[in-house]
Amino acid sequence: MAEFLAYLIAGIATGAIYALAAIGFTLVWQTSQTINFAQGEFVMLPAVLILLAIKLFGAPIWLGALIGIAAFILIFGVGFKLAVVDPMIRHGVLPLAIATMALSIIMKEGAKDGFSAEAQKFPSFVPTETISVFGAAISLQHVAIIAVAFAVIGLLQWFVGSTRLGRQMQATAQNPTVARILGIPVERMVLLTFVINAALAVVASVLISPIYLAKFSNGEVIGLFAFIAAIVGGFNQVRGALVGGLIVGIVDSMAAAYISTSYRLAVPLVLLVVVILVKPEGLMGRKEERRV
Partner 1 sequence: MTAPATHSAAPAARRLPLPAFVDGTLLTLVAAAVILWFVPSGMGRYGTYVLSLWLVMSVAVMGLNLTLGYAGLKSLAQAAFMGIGAYATALLTSKVGLNWYASFAISGLLTFAVGLVLGFPALRVKAHYLAFVTLAFSTLIWLVLRNEQWLTGGVFGLSNIPRPSFFGLKLDGALAFHRFVVVVTFLLAVVLWWMIRSPWGRAFTALRENPIRAASLGIDTRMYTLLAFAIGSAYAGFAGALYAPLVEFIDPSPFSLSQSFFLLLMVVAGGAGYLLGPFIGALLGVVLPEWLRFAGSLYLIIFAAIVMLLLIACPQGMSGLLERGWAKLTSKKEGAR
Residues of this chain that interact with partner 1 (CB under 8 A) are 35, 37, 84, 87-99, 101-106, 108-110, 112-113, 220, 224, 227-228, 231, 262-263, 265-266, 269, 272-273, 276-277, 280, 290, 292
What span, in angstroms and rounded, lies between the C-alpha atoms of 99 and 8?
A: 37
Closest separation in Å from C-beta 199 to partner 1: 24
What span, in angstroms and rounded, lies between the C-alpha atoms of 128 and 149?
A: 17
By beta-carbon proximity to partner 1, the closer residue of 64 and 234 is: 234
Closest separation in Å from C-beta 165 to partner 1: 28
Closest separation in Å from C-beta 139 to partner 1: 27
By beta-carbon proximity to partner 1, the closer residue of 60 and 280 is: 280
Residues facing 136 on adjacent strands: 133
Closest separation in Å from C-beta 71 to partner 1: 18
By beta-carbon proximity to partner 1, the closer residue of 86 and 157 is: 86
Tell me the H-state helices in 33-139: 39-57, 61-73, 86-89, 93-114
Within a 10 A sphere around the Cβ of 113, how many other Cβ atoms?
Answer: 10
Closest separation in Å from C-beta 269 to partner 1: 4
By beta-carbon proximity to partner 1, the closer residue of 17 and 271 is: 271
The answer to whether 233 and 245 are in contact (CB under 8 A) is yes
The answer to whether 230 and 22 are in contact (CB under 8 A) is yes
By beta-carbon proximity to partner 1, the closer residue of 19 and 138 is: 19
Instruction: Note the residue count of the chain.
Output: 292
**Burial class of 32 by CB neighbour count within 10 A (0 to 12, 13 to 18, 19+):** buried
